[in-house]
Amino acid sequence: MNTVFYISAAVAIISTIMVITRLNTVHALLYLIVSLLSVALIFFVLGAPFVAALEVVIYAGAIMVLFVFVIMMLNLGAETVEQERQWLTPEIWAGPLFLTLILVAELIYIFTRNGLRLCGVCIIEPKKVGIVLFGSYLLGVELASILLLVALIGAYHLGKHFKPAESRKGGS
């Protein structure tokens, strides 16, 4: 289990370095997804399966989809087709695919070696997390819900007023 941790840590560091050195946004996004997946595997090895699932579903799923949507909305134009043609060459996706295959191999190794049990007692189960989350941290849950509501209203407000902002700037 130690080697799995160290290999995923190496994958996480390598892919993060690739994120901050890429010139193209979508390439960086691919490497960022690999980095988040390897961090999820690290959580799984550390005995936190619930948080590992959340990392994959929310971080690598929902938040990265938001980034992809915004990049799609920004890249309108005729040069997008040419860009698309360049992006489908193998050297673009070979690096992320290689790192992801390392992670898949580690996952298969974990499941075939000792099933779903990692190291016995040290797993913190989702049930325990849920009991404490809605017990002593109930106030924090309420605050997080208020924060998400405020973010929803704020994002709606900021995204809505494209034209009024332009005309107000021109008018004043």
Partner 1 sequence: MASIPMEHGLVLAGILFALGLIGVFMRRNIIFILMSIEIMLNATGVAFVVGGSRWLQPDGQIMFIFILAMAAAEVAVGLALVLQFYHRFKTLDADVASKMKG
Q: Which residues bind partner 1 (CB under 8 A)?
A: 1-2, 5-6, 9, 12-13, 16-17, 19-20, 25, 28-29, 32, 35-36, 39, 42-43, 45-48, 50-51, 54-55, 58-59, 62-63, 66-67, 69-71, 73-74, 119, 122, 124, 128-129, 132-133, 137, 140, 144, 147-148, 150-152, 154-155, 158-159, 162, 165-166, 169
Q: How far apart are CA 104 and CA 4, in angstroms?
A: 11
How far is CA 153 from its chain centroid? 23
In whole angstroms, how close is the CB of 22 to partner 1 at the nearest point? 8
Rounded distance between C-alpha atoms, residue 166 and residue 17, angstroms: 38
How near is the Cβ of 161 to partner 1 at its closest, in Å?
Answer: 8
Nearest to 56, CA basis, from 34, 85, 28: 34
Nearer to partner 1, 16 or 95 (CB): 16
Please, which residue, 90 or 127, has the CB nearer to partner 1? 127
For the chain, the residue count is 172
Query: How far apart (Å, rounded) are the C-alpha atoms in residues 104 and 146?
Result: 37
Task: Kindly state the smallest distance separating residue 60's Cβ from partner 1, in Å.
Answer: 10
Query: Taking the mean position of all CA atoms in its chain, how far away is CA 75?
Result: 22
